[in-house]
Amino acid sequence: MLTSFILLILSIQSPLWPMDIEPERGDPFIIMNKATNELAFFQYGDLIELYDVASGKEPELTPEGTFTVVVKAENPYYRKSDIIGGAPTNPLGTRWIGFDALETDGRIYGMHGTNEPESIKQYVSNGCIRMQNEQVEQLYDDVPLGTKIWITSKVDKTILELGAEVGIVRSSAAKSGQ
């Protein structure tokens, strides 16, 4: 009975896969390339959507590596300046998709909307990934907790080539540009 209880708890912790296991080709996966300020959402081995984003004003502010989405929030509260969620002055926009970069709890680093849409494609953030509100709302609906995000700064590869590098798309699709 104790074993059954432990298995139940473990299965509730991660709705997709255990948080420390690499995803399979069909699992949702996000790649963010700081060199191009592009964010790609993949699922079932296909590129579903490619977004222009903003990232850290200094290269080290947006951490690189593979992380896990652990927090999602609609109309997030902005603690730093005590701005309620949904306020037009809230720099986090309408959605927060937080990930566990640098051993944080998903409330420090994340993908979020913005109240400054002109900042997209710029290097302006304190480390988060900024998106247009409409786009982060779409991504929010598509990305479950447990989704992996890989942040890199490779200048010599396309998003599809990066997807092939981590094994989430077929290498033939990356070579043909599909």
What are the structure tokens assigned to 101, written together? Answer: 């970069």
Catalytic pick from 69, 92, 97, 128?
Answer: 128
Q: Return the DSSP state at 162.
A: H
First to last CA, the chain: 50
Distance CA 31, CA 156 (A): 15
Alpha helix (H) residue ranges in the chain: 2-13, 133-142, 159-165, 171-176
Distance of CA 56 to CAs 74, 82, 158, 162, Å?
Answer: 23, 22, 20, 20
Whether 112 sits among the annotated catalytic residues: the reply is yes
Whether 114 sits among the annotated catalytic residues: the reply is no
Catalytic pick from 34, 72, 95, 112?
Answer: 112
- Strands 38-43, 29-33: pairing kind: antiparallel
Positions marked active-site? 112, 128
